[in-house]
Amino acid sequence: MSSVNPSKVDATPSSRSAVSERGVGAASTNRPFVVATFAITADGKVTTKNFGPVDFTSCEDKLHLFRQRASADAVLIGHTSLERDNVRLGLPVDLQELRTRRGQSRSPMRVIISNKGRIDERLKIFQSDISPIIVFSTKRMPQKNQKALQTRATLHLTDAEHVDLAVMLETLRNQYKVGTLACEGGPTLFRALLEEDSIDQLNLTIAPHMFGGATAPTLTGLNDKFLPASIHCALINVRTVENECFLIYRIKHQRARRK
């Protein structure tokens, strides 16, 4: 892998306890503790069949997402989700200030993963300098994209056709000292991390809506194949706010179960 380098808020007890044990249960000290945060409908959908941006959760859920993001050293997003939602991956000022009081940077590092690397430098994330941006991609990234991005982000490009997730996580841990990584999707990336046994915690909001549709993605995407092995979860926290349910699961690792 080549590198091209240019020139914790927890307003609720439940979210605080969710990250206070983040060093416990990680599969390896060579990677960060990975926390995924998602919202799903009552019938298990993360978006509609058109994969367009949807807004089906409450303000409390959006605050919940910000709290989880604020608790992490870095936030990870797949290119497809980034392009669809066009987010900066920032934080409200009060959460930035809380991070500063804890001795952290004002905002977590932002990490983008893309196998093809056709990333538009005009996306909002690249128009904001709130924190460093790291891009993991391959040498399939067109030269014009490399040139456009190398002044806005640190690029890690591999010769392989796909980004090696294990290598990416090790790089974040060892080179960037990321202890906790907040994964915000999408479902394809989440499934890939599950298959690598690299998810440690799942924060799941269940919203009171149903979309239906066989072509609307679930938490693990549209892949009709079973996961390599059943994923076992332990429920460590649950709370309800009006009609939404907030669940926190600790993921039981495959290797640990095989011992």
Q: What is the pLDDT of residues 170-185, one digit of tens each?
A: 999 999 999 999 999 8
pTM, rounded to two decimals: 0.86
Query: What is the spatial order of strands in the sheet that 180-183 belongs to?
Result: 2-4, 154-158, 133-138, 109-113, 74-78, 180-183, 33-41, 201-207, 244-252, 232-241
Are the C-beta atoms of 45 and 216 separated by less than 8 Å? yes
Query: Residue 252 above 60 pLDDT?
Result: yes
125, amino acid identity: I
List residues bridging with 237 in a β-sheet: 248
Query: What gap in Å lies between CA 212 and CA 42, rounded to an integer?
Result: 10
Q: What percent of the chain has pLDDT over 70?
A: 86
Query: What gap in Å lies between CA 253 and CA 232, rounded to an integer?
Result: 8
Neighbours of 147 (CB within 10 A): 10
Query: What gap in Å lies between CA 255 and CA 187, rounded to an integer?
Result: 23
Q: Residue 171 is encoded by which pair of tokens?
A: 């790089």
User: Which position has the higher pLDDT, 76 or 51?
Assistant: 76
Q: What percent of the chain has pLDDT over 90?
A: 71
Are the C-beta atoms of 78 and 25 separated by less than 8 Å? no
DSSP-based three-state secondary structure for 16 = helix
Query: What gap in Å lies between CA 161 and CA 6, rounded to an integer?
Result: 24
DSSP-based three-state secondary structure for 62 = helix
Per-residue model confidence (pLDDT) at position 1: 57
Per-residue model confidence (pLDDT) at position 229: 86
Residue with tokens 């959006």: 62
Residue with tokens 């430098």: 121
- The confidence band for 228, taking pLDDT boundaries of 50, 70 and 90, is confident
The predicted-structure confidence for 126-144, as pLDDT tens digits, reads as follows 999 999 999 999 999 999 9
Query: What gap in Å lies between CA 173 and CA 182, rounded to an integer?
Result: 13
Are the C-beta atoms of 221 and 187 separated by less than 8 Å? yes
